[in-house]
Structure 1
């Protein structure tokens, strides 16, 4: 999830390969050929979108979130801050606790409070355990594969560039995204009265507010698609699900099919709460990998903003922070290993497009994979080892995260930007 930054400076460039050009969706693009062959081998079908599917994809690139957008539109008819108060009251106490609630708010909460018939709470619990047991490696993959990879699609990354001050605000955005992830991947966290549910809805409203500000600015180029559109929002769900799993498996983690399907299911429900149309939400691992191919098939080329975003993320503070010389050295080592992981998993061409330095650290990750794989086999053979890992990593995360919030002064209430960069 790319939570928008806050700031007042902007570096905006226009991609020459915008989405409506015929090159988008061309199956002969080099990046698609190998993915298409692998998908056919694993799933026995062709993932490339048909003309009808391409038309539907383009339609979703021009769609916002009707229900959340209507709530944000409602804000202008209320005293400043009153709209957010109503949303918070409905989240905390239910829509029935509000006297004469606005129709837009009723419609939104009718959708999020209507638990889908396909929801499986056992799968949610399993997916949360999977998310915790991988420990710090999960953050590595989300930051240096999922977020970095998202920057390669220039159009989808434009909302971040519009709000500027990347160097100063990236650490805060990472912590805010981390707060969201921890909320929604806590066992039971997506219950109606729990923090995961509330965070998902608050982030949804924040995205709608940013979308309105971008459209009202007169600076948004619709050739990039609708800001924070449905297709890009579905792609963000993939970052936390299938891309997350793929990145972890690439460095030696083992997941059963049941665990992989559970993670896809978890993020299907989170996507539902965040306003992504069920029509395009993957319902299985195969659906998710097909959607990932289609996202790559419809992505536009990187541009100069890709490098700005990539370098900002690469230079963000590491988990090892301090003034002692050895802390600085360890921090630099962590930064180098992170860059190496991005180059290993995304390739050197993508690394160059992201402006990342070349480093031999990319060879560290395939070299350590057999050791990780071996430790995973031990975990699977020792009764109770998996749950022990889950509990240990949960405790560590709960102890360390508040300090990160304090250090970055992150806004964990998911309040949107107050003004666009100029």
Structure 2
């Protein structure tokens, strides 16, 4: 990692009086982390609390004055390429040149292997996505602020939709060939990138955004945490905690896949993780620096848990269906808390207010049997790709777009909810 001690970089629209990343309210343990990882690396990473997807943001800002916010032009470029767009602004051309120029480090065979390795364990992958990635992800203080301000994961009528949108994106992006230029994962990731730019544009102009505490909206550090720490590292670690052995090559392949997803999402090359060891190091630094979870994080966690345990989403059961149908809401909640304790660990669960219970020992008790099954099936003739595709297809029942739905959220709807609800954030964030 490079050093930026002599400069003070900042993204577009960041006010001049915003502190350097290491002095933001969200940054803790800086001196302790510098003693472990070195001051140059810490200076570089914390500078990215005030830098984000500048290429995508400039494109969004350039299109914003156009009819419909320029979304039709963006969609045209996503579906048919930038050459199909009549008189595109230079910023949009820059964006699509960046995503249509495949980096030298991309090996499509490796990304394909990463997709297969990610999904070959089957149904349990869905559980790790829900509990170890999405659920435990609410521990991040700075990255959760836009969700708190929009209330899209707090209002009961919005929680299910937001959950499905996230899982739909994760499944489309991580499936075999999903990130090819004409793949569903590529299109979905570009849609999410547009939403991030819209959220950043609105909140950067919103008096409810606390620059001194949170830094830039959807910063590069937030994106590293999401792509790397949650959907890559946390899922790999959770699978291994369940007894699913992943080889060193499989870990590198999965990491390469999520590195590329992050690249298309707009993470710059200089901050993006490069391999499994680099991801583990950056993850450890980010986790050490991040402010502990607060009431906003706990409100998001409670809202998601309550929804998953009390509501039914057709085709989507995190817990295996044979068990799910036999449990009432309180029993599901107890099981969910136990599994989160087992997968996410006590520190994160204590921060998020997740009660402890004896079902935390269910996963360690099942691990020897799952590990034995995994070892046996690895030695017998097997088709990992077929297993992965079956797992994704079964999960597709829930993530398939139904009539009247959009693949991911409508950016204007998200912005509307931010405008309507952001002033209510103090109800949660200042709760005593």
Bucket of the pairwise TM-score, normalised by the shorter protein: 0.7 to 0.9
Aligned to 1:418: 415
2:304 pairs with 1:317: no
Aligned to 2:7: none
The 3 A distance-change label for structure 1 pair 367 and 320 is farther
Aligned to 2:224: 234
The 3 A distance-change label for structure 1 pair 138 and 295 is same
Unmatched tracts of structure 1, length 5 or more? 1-16, 29-45
In 2, the alpha carbon distance for the partners of 1:319 and 1:307 equals 18
Q: CA deviation at 1:410?
A: 5.6
Conserved 8 A contact 2:162-2:409 = no
5 Å matches for 1:157-236?
157-165=144-152, 166-168=154-156, 169-222=158-211, 223-236=213-226
Query: Bigger relative contact order, structure 1 or 2, given CA contacts below 8 A and separation 6+?
Result: 1
2:52 pairs with 1:64: yes
Greater mean deviation of Cα atoms: 251-260 or 350-359:
350-359
DSSP-derived class of the 1:290 partner:
helix
Conserved 8 A contact 1:127-1:266 = yes
Q: Deviations for 1:18-47, whole angstroms, at most 9, x for unmatched residues?
A: 84588432438xxxxxxxxxxxxxxxxx99
2:41 pairs with 1:53: yes
Normalising by structure 2, report the TM-score: 0.82
Conserved 8 A contact 2:233-2:280 = yes
CA RMSD of aligned residues (A): 2.6
Aligned to 1:293: 284
Q: Deviations for 1:44-80, whole angstroms, at most 9, x for unmatched residues?
A: xx99331111111121000121111112212332112
Aligned equivalent of 2:29, options 11, 24, 49: 24
In 2, the alpha carbon distance for the partners of 1:287 and 1:22 equals 21
Aligned to 1:393: 391
2:254 pairs with 1:263: yes
2:116 pairs with 1:126: no
The 3 A distance-change label for structure 1 pair 159 and 399 is closer
2:77 pairs with 1:80: no
Aligned equivalent of 1:366, options 352, 364, 375: 364
In 2, the alpha carbon distance for the partners of 1:346 and 1:149 equals 6
In 2, the alpha carbon distance for the partners of 1:391 and 1:183 equals 12
DSSP-derived class of the 1:77 partner:
coil
Q: Deviations for 1:295-349, whole angstroms, at most 9, x for unmatched residues?
A: 11211122111210111121122599399x9836266544432211211233334
Conserved 8 A contact 2:117-2:384 = no
Q: CA deviation at 1:218?
A: 1.6
In 1, the alpha carbon distance for the partners of 2:163 and 2:324 equals 24
In 2, the alpha carbon distance for the partners of 1:242 and 1:326 equals 27
Q: CA deviation at 1:274?
A: 0.7
5 Å matches for 1:324-363?
327=325, 329=327, 332-363=330-361
Aligned to 2:242: 251
Q: CA deviation at 1:160?
A: 0.6
The 3 A distance-change label for structure 1 pair 392 and 23 is closer
Q: CA deviation at 1:392?
A: 2.8
